[in-house]
Amino acid sequence: MSSAQVLLVGAGPGPVDLMTLRAVRAVEGAQALLYDALISEEAIALAPPGCVRIQTGKRAGKPSMHQDEINRLMLRLARKGLRVVRLKGGDPSVFGRVGEESAFLREHGVSVEVVPGVTAACAAAAQFGFPLTHRGEARRVVFTTARLEAGALSGDWSAAGDPEATLAVYMGGEMAGALCERMVAAGRAPGTPAVAVEQAGGADARITHGTLATLGDRLDGQGGPVVIVVGEVAAQALGAVADEALVARTA
């Protein structure tokens, strides 16, 4: 049986001190490192001298290496006997295409180990002091992405109408207005608290407060990766507060 192996490793939301110990050790032992565009320089620097470093891209809306090319590259390097680490932002199992890559590698006789990481919604909640679940307010968490097809937001958003669910929407910053409108159309109250966190977990993270009725207008100029969290728990978020109702109460 082939001894070829690839490690699919979660780098967390950015800072190396939010990587797991297993993830750090994996990168430190890598002979070939394939990393996404959002991986921090600190994390890449953990790789040892002589390690082959290849950026695969995978930044939303930007040119990147095609998935089939990434698959073939991992396979080729693993078959050369190199210890291959595929380093992904966040957690590999949360919108990280871990299923596709694992299936491809295993079909070609390469064993796979997945190393989990902190996903952006969890990092945002920890950094800005709000829970994702909360007794009496949020019994469920839904992780989803915002996708455009033919210029319109696609997908089934019926879960957005559940008042006891917290929604964490990845890659939704540029279409926040349409996203909020879709949630209201699904039955969520326009006054439902909502926050957008850019660069979650990092020193440059920033939060924008609002509601489903106001958040879209407040996100003009957001540049980095954004996770949007919608639900009653978002009202507990710390940071720069811009919601009119909160301002009015402190006036």
Exposed, middle or buried, 149 (CB in 10 Å: 0-12/13-18/19+)?
exposed
User: Coil, helix or strand for 73?
Assistant: helix
Could you confirm whether 58 is annotated as catalytic? Answer: yes
> Rounded to an integer, what distance in angstroms lies between the CA atom of residue 232 and that of residue 97?
30
Region of 14 on the Ramachandran plot (φ > 0 left; ψ -120 to 50 alpha; else beta): left
> Rounded to an integer, what distance in angstroms lies between the CA atom of residue 187 and that of residue 78?
49
CA count, 13 A, side-chain hemisphere, 191: 3
The beta strand positions in the chain, using DSSP E, are 5-10, 32-36, 52-57, 84-88, 111-115, 140-145, 148-149, 152-153, 165-170, 193-198, 206-211, 226-230
CB atoms within 10 A of CB 217: 11
Give the position of tokens 């959002």.
Answer: 38
58, 88, 91, 243: the active-site residue: 58
Distances from the Cα of 51 to the Cα of 7, 43, 48, 54, 116, angstroms: 15, 13, 6, 10, 22
36, 88, 91, 243: the active-site residue: 36
Dmax (CA) for the chain in angstroms is 71
| Catalytic residue list | 36, 58
